[in-house]
Amino acid sequence: MSISHAPPGSPESDISGIGKANAAPAGTTAADADAAGQGPLDLEPIVPSSARRTRVPRWLRRTTGPVLLLALWQLLSVTGVLTSDVLASPGRIAQVAGDLITDGSLPAAMGTSVQRVAAGLLFGAVAGTGLALLSGLFRIGEDLVDAPVQMLRTVPFVGLIPLFIIWFGIGEAPKVAIITLGVSFPLYLNVYAGIRGVDSQLIEAGESLGLSKWGLVRHVVLPGALPGAMTGLRYSLGIAWLALVFAEQINADAGIGFLMVQARDFLRTDVIVVCLIVYAFLGLLADFIVRSFERLLLQWRPTFTGR
């Protein structure tokens, strides 16, 4: 990263003539210009970015914040400012987490919850993308599908839990159904918008290259809709965990939510925090998976990675 220019000491500077002609070249102060028609400019070095960078590696910088927060929490717990029936100390939580893992109740609960999310996500993804393809690709599909979906979208899906319990009972079905419902809308909206947002110039170029209808969909429309679909998937994942929490707080006899409800009854804030951490961890893991997908599928897209 360097910009080539005339060496600073060069005797015949390119702009010296201009400096003489105009009293004050742009950038110099009036005082400078007054003192001498072309006194030495106040130069400042452009420091290469490699020299500016701190020595601390990035991962260390990134972990500092959470670690400090944890230390503060532990400090407050030890000094008694934070009593254990309000919030257990990090040490205590780590211990409880260890116990829950060794006695097998946490892995079992996680398994159940992950299964529910996976099933809901699968059904929701199939329904959401299927409907979006239908209304995105075909005008008749749009006329038939879009209006009802847009109407249903405005219903808060958690409000349907009572109805789902009446329809599906209190087993796994209503839980999976509520996740499915939550997942399908963001996917539908984003895939649909992605399809409709494909550059019409590219469609025309594809046509001029002699692509068939199906070829256009395969080579132009679907790849063009992929960024939107990925955004939809990430939204959906977020909502899937949210829906899981709602679904598991009601009539659950297994899963992380069930653990939490039990812990609430016994005022075990430590167990509740462990469950929350597990939720967060699972959410992060899911997000990581989608990010990896994105990196793989959208590598054609140059992105701004920050400074």
Interface residues with another protein (CB under 8 A) are: 201-202, 204-211, 215, 219-220, 223-224, 226, 299-302
Q: Smallest distance from the beta carbon of 216 to another protein, in angstroms?
A: 9
Which lies closer to another protein via its Cβ, residue 207 or residue 287? 207
* Residue 43 near residue 8 (C-beta atoms within 8 A): yes
Tokens of 201: 């110039």
SS3 39: coil
Which lies closer to another protein via its Cβ, residue 109 or residue 216? 216
Q: Smallest distance from the beta carbon of 192 to another protein, in angstroms?
A: 19
Q: Smallest distance from the beta carbon of 226 to another protein, in angstroms?
A: 7
Q: Smallest distance from the beta carbon of 131 to another protein, in angstroms?
A: 24
Q: Where are the alpha helices (DSSP H) in 209-303?
A: 213-216, 222-248, 256-265, 269-297
Which lies closer to another protein via its Cβ, residue 173 or residue 297? 297
Q: Smallest distance from the beta carbon of 193 to another protein, in angstroms?
A: 17
- Cα distances (angstroms) measured from residue 24 to each of 12, 19, 42, 73, 74: 19, 7, 14, 60, 62
Which lies closer to another protein via its Cβ, residue 229 or residue 239? 229
Helix axes 256-265, 222-248, angle to 10 degrees: 30
Region at 255 (left for phi over 0; alpha for psi -120 to 50; beta for the rest): left
- Tabulate helix, strand, coil % of the chain (nearest 5): 70, 0, 30
Which lies closer to another protein via its Cβ, residue 132 or residue 225? 225
Terminal alpha carbon distance of the chain: 14
